[in-house]
């Protein structure tokens, strides 16, 4: 077998490691911020019926423009959005990749504020876009002043603001988005993958009118409990959608994905019915860990970044040995934990309590 170093790999991919959150079949899996509740049975039945109808037509390519799904997503987002302002792909990862293919590339740059979602630099390398990481302050919260200063200094072509931010959970303030948009001439993406968990805050889609360089990305993978289907989407000016059409592969959203996602959006209320409970579990987890002496960062999402672990690697492994998977992101002293069902949350709280002050040590 040949090894990777024997191949004529593109230079900017040499030495990189693929995105690799562990995928262990453990009883309590709280490491990739999924909604751990199964989808409601009546919705599953309706989706299966929609899939059955779609399957009979799969000898033909699907609707390349997936208009029915785009109309459904526009209706779900509301605020007068129309289908020609909506785009979708196989997860918001693919949506973001298409944005970088269209607006990034050699000689162009992508800037974001770290720690943030680990796929952004990988999407940059994959599209030969240079990656600019600007560190967040100690409390991880962005201010208009700090963001404007960074954009004026680095003059990036693309900026991603993740709100709530993964992996810190930090909410994103509206005045930061407005200031960022005005501070440079490039493409501003607001990644709202976790927006439904922070729904008191107005979505950045309300900032779209008059801002043709603003793109708001969303996903059905988190609150919508639909990670396995792979459906992410974006709202922007119709001209942006025209740009993405230049780089997408034809028929990239399969007939089955279109059918399943359109049916799921029809049942948005039922699909999102677990959000209140997940938020309650997040708050219960936060209170319990704070009481145990850990530092819990404020979160507007379905996960918590928790500091105060004496040895995060040892705690990660100790929990994994008990069938509990959380996320070790190499942030000193920190681990990230997704809020699960009531019983999953109780299990993780009790397991961390049993490890004693500061967690496990190797």
What is the contact surface with ligand PMP in residues (CB under 6 A)?
33, 91-93, 117, 162, 166, 191, 193, 219, 221, 227, 232
268 neighbors 163 (Cβ within 8 angstroms)? no
Distance, CA of 161 to CA of 279 (rounded, Å):
22
To the nearest whole angstrom, how small is the minimum distance from the Cβ of residue 163 to ligand PMP?
9
Three-class DSSP labels, 311-322: CHHHHHHHHHHC
Q: In angstroms, give the least distance from the CB of 191 to ligand PMP.
A: 5
Smallest gap from Cβ 118 to ligand PMP, in A, equals: 9
Ramachandran class of 33: left when φ > 0, alpha when ψ lies in -120 to 50, beta otherwise: left
Of 85 and 217, which has the nearer Cβ to ligand PMP?
217
Alpha-carbon distance 145 to 148, whole Å? Answer: 5
Which residue number, 169 or 359, has a Cβ lying nearer to ligand PMP? Answer: 169
Nearer to ligand PMP, 176 or 193 (CB): 193
When the beta carbons of 54 and 162 are compared against ligand PMP, the nearer one is: 162
The whole-angstrom separation of Cα 75 and Cα 3 is 49
CB of 191 or CB of 237, closer to ligand PMP = 191
Farthest-apart Cα atoms in the chain, separation:
60
Among residues 299, 171, 278, 281, the alpha carbon closest in space to that of 225 is found at 278
- Residue 223's CB is within 10 A of a number of other CB atoms, namely 25
Smallest distance from the beta carbon of 319 to ligand PMP, in angstroms?
20
Per the CB < 8 A criterion, the answer to whether 75 and 95 are in contact is no
Q: Choose between 85 and 168: whose C-beta lies nearer to ligand PMP.
A: 168
Angle at 343 (CA atoms; ends 337, 344), nearest 5 degrees = 25
Torsion of CA 116, 118, 122, 123, to 10 degrees: -60
Q: How far is the CB of 130 from ligand PMP (least distance, A)?
A: 20
Looking at beta carbons only, is 117 or 197 nearer to ligand PMP? Answer: 117
Residue 35 CB, shortest distance to ligand PMP, in Å, is 11
Distance of alpha carbon 94 from the chain centroid: 11
- The residue number with the shortest CB distance to ligand PMP is 91
Smallest gap from residue 192 Cβ to ligand PMP (A): 8
CB of 129 to ligand PMP, least distance (A): 17
**In terms of CB distance, is 130 or 219 closer to ligand PMP?**
219
CB of 172 to ligand PMP, least distance (A): 11
The kind and range of the H/E element at 29 are strand 28-29
Output 162 or 360, the one with its CB closest to ligand PMP.
162
Neighbouring C-beta atoms of residue 185, cutoff 10 Å: 9
- Name the one residue in this structure whose structure tokens are 């298409």: 98
215 DSSP assignment: E
Contact of 311 with 359, CB cutoff 8 Å = yes
Other C-beta atoms closer than 10 Å to the C-beta of 56 total 8
């Amino acid at each position: 077998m040949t090894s990777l170093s024997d191949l004529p790999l593109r230079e900017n991919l040499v030495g990189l490691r693929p995105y690799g959150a562990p995928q262990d079949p453990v009883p309590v899996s709280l490491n990739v911020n999924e909604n751990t509740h199964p989808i409601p049975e009546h919705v599953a039945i309706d989706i299966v019926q929609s899939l059955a109808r779609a399957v009979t037509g799969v000898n033909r390519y699907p609707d390349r423009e997936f208009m029915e799904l785009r109309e459904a997503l526009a209706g779900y987002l509301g605020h007068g959005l129309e289908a020609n302002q909506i785009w979708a792909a196989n997860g918001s990862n693919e949506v973001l990749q298409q944005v970088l293919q269209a607006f990034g590339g050699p000689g162009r740059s992508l800037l974001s504020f770290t720690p943030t979602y680990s796929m952004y630099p990988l999407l940059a390398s994959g599209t030969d876009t240079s990656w600019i990481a600007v560190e967040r302050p100690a409390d991880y919260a962005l201010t208009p002043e700090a963001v404007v200063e960074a954009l004026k200094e680095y003059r990036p072509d693309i900026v991603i603001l993740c709100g709530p931010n993964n992996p810190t959970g930090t909410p994103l303030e509206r005045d930061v988005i407005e200031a960022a948009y005005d501070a440079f001439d490039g493409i501003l993406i607001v990644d709202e993958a976790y927006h439904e968990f922070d729904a008191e805050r107005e979505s950045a889609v309300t900032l779209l009118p008059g801002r043709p360089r603003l793109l708001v990305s969303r996903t059905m993978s988190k609150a919508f409990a639909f990670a396995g289907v792979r459906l992410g989407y974006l709202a922007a000016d119709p001209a942006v959608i025209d740009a993405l059409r230049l780089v997408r592969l034809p028929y990239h959203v399969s007939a089955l994905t279109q059918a399943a996602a359109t049916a799921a959006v029809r049942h948005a209320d039922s699909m999102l019915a677990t959000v209140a409970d997940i938020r309650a579990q997040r708050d219960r987890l936060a209170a319990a860990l704070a009481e145990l002496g850990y530092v819990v960062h404020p979160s507007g999402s379905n996960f918590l970044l928790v500091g105060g672990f004496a040895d995060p690697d040892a705690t990660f492994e100790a929990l994994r040995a008990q069938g509990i998977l959380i996320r070790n992101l190499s942030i000193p002293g920190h681990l990230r934990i997704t809020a699960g069902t009531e019983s999953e949350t109780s299990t993780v709280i009790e397991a961390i309590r049993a490890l004693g002050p500061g967690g496990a040590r190797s």
